[in-house]
Amino acid sequence: MNLNRTLRHLRGVPAAVTAEVFSYDPDQSDPPERVRYMTLSEAKALDCNMCGQCCGSAEVDVPGEPLRAYTFGPIEQQQWARLNGGAPLIIPLTRTGRPRAWRESDGEAATAPPFRCEALSHCDDGTTRCGLWQTRRPAPCDAFPVKAKHYPADVRAGAYVLLNTKYQRLCTWVDVLVCPDDSVLLDWRRADGTLRRRLSPDRRAFVGEVFREAYRDAFQIGGMLTTRDWRALRKAEAAWRQTSRAPK
Ligand code: SF4
Ligand code: SF4
């Protein structure tokens, strides 16, 4: 399996292709072609390429998309100053990218602002470094993008998880759908984790259904699916499992 994608490879991919997920419409679209399907263990085994796109809103701006759309999530009032010698570590930004003082709404997920991190530095070769890598970092940094504590239980319960890398077009884990270990989708992929091109229309439609639900979960469109909902979809999948290795 060659599931990893190097930073050099990703930088060479045209933005129009990599940003396919931005135009995805769960009511109408097929899953983006570049989605990779993998187990949680496979995803965890990949290497961070140090692109730094998870470490600042300006790092992930996509041409043609609203600027500074990516947030850190809720920023606590102390701004993790204890990890940065007493000075604020995660700095809220205005939409145009100017640093500003913390305000109460920054602590809410729904109103989290764009941000800059004081620990991020840029190297000449285009990669970045986290100054806190060897010590303690804010919890969201350790969870992103594949180590959220609830993922193992979710996947064991039958859920498919679309990793939250929509904005990080250079991320190793961009466009990854984490699948339960016994998912038939894993049998229908190529060595790079993407779906086989010559998949029968009914199998392709099933993948579309799975991706649609995972996308809705990831972006909280119409509420999260419950474990029971995922079990119902997985029941339908059981029929596919019988024949998934038969050539089509
Ligand atoms: S603390 Fe490190 S990992 Fe977290 S946002 Fe800053 S540079 Fe990135
Ligand atoms: S966006 Fe992904 S590959 Fe880039 S630094 Fe963050 S975790 Fe690593």
* Mutational pocket test of ligand 2: of 6, 48, 61, the residue with most ligand atoms within 8 Å of the beta carbon: 48
Ligand 2 and 183: CB distance under 6 A: no
One domain, residues 181 and 131? no
Cβ distance 202 to 240 under 8 Å? no
pLDDT mean over 61-76: 91
One domain, residues 151 and 172? yes
Give 142's contacts (C-beta < 8 A, 6+ positions apart): none
Residue 75: name the closest of 53, 118, 104, 95 by CA: 104
Q: Ligand 1 centroid to 114 CA: how many Å? A: 14
One domain, residues 148 and 227? yes
pLDDT mean over 169-186: 95
- Predicted confidence band at 247 (pLDDT cuts at 50, 70, 90)? very low
Cβ distance 159 to 227 under 8 Å? yes
Number of domains, the chain: 2
Residue 248 lies in a domain: no
Domain boundary among 136, 166, 196: 136
For the ranges 35-44, 144-153, 157-166, 235-244, the lowest mean pLDDT is seen at 235-244
One domain, residues 67 and 24? no
One domain, residues 125 and 232? no
- Predicted confidence band at 18 (pLDDT cuts at 50, 70, 90)? low
Q: Ligand 1 centroid to 10 CA: how many Å? A: 21
Q: Which ligand is nearest to the CA of 57?
A: 1
pLDDT at residue 119, as a whole number: 98
Residue 184 lies in a domain: yes
Atom of ligand 1 nearest to the CA of 56: 5
Q: Ligand 2 centroid to 11 CA: how many Å? A: 13
Q: Ligand 1 centroid to 118 CA: how many Å? A: 8
For the ranges 9-13, 31-35, 223-227, the lowest mean pLDDT is seen at 223-227
pLDDT at residue 248, as a whole number: 47
* Mutational pocket test of ligand 1: of 141, 147, 168, the residue with most ligand atoms within 8 Å of the beta carbon: 141
One domain, residues 229 and 156? yes
Q: Amino acid identity of 229?
A: D
How many alpha carbons lie under 13 Å from residue 75 in its C-beta half-sphere?
Answer: 26
pLDDT at residue 224, as a whole number: 66
- Predicted confidence band at 52 (pLDDT cuts at 50, 70, 90)? very high
One domain, residues 152 and 40? yes
Ligand 2 and 164: CB distance under 6 A: no
One domain, residues 217 and 201? yes
Ligand 2 and 50: CB distance under 6 A: yes
Q: What are phi and psi of 20, to 5 degrees?
A: -55, -35
One domain, residues 43 and 61? no
Residue 2 lies in a domain: no
Cβ distance 104 to 97 under 8 Å? no
Q: Which ligand is nearest to the CA of 119?
A: 1
Domain boundary among 99, 120, 136: 136
Ligand 2 and 79: CB distance under 6 A: no
Ligand 1 and 117: CB distance under 6 A: yes
Q: The tokens 């959220």 sit on which residue?
A: 148
- Predicted confidence band at 19 (pLDDT cuts at 50, 70, 90)? low
Nearest CA to ligand 1 atom 8: 55
One domain, residues 32 and 92? no
One domain, residues 26 and 43? yes
For the ranges 27-41, 114-128, 203-217, 225-239, the lowest mean pLDDT is seen at 225-239
Q: Ligand 1 centroid to 77 CA: how many Å? A: 17
Helix (H, G, I), strand (E, B) or coil at 206: helix
Residue 1 lies in a domain: no
One domain, residues 161 and 225? yes
Cβ distance 45 to 186 under 8 Å? no
Please tell me the pTM assigned to this model. 0.92
pLDDT mean over 158-184: 94
pLDDT mean over 10-39: 83
Tokens representing residue 80 in the block: 């993790």
Residue 131 lies in a domain: yes
**Domain range for 61:** 57-136
Domain boundary among 92, 111, 136: 136
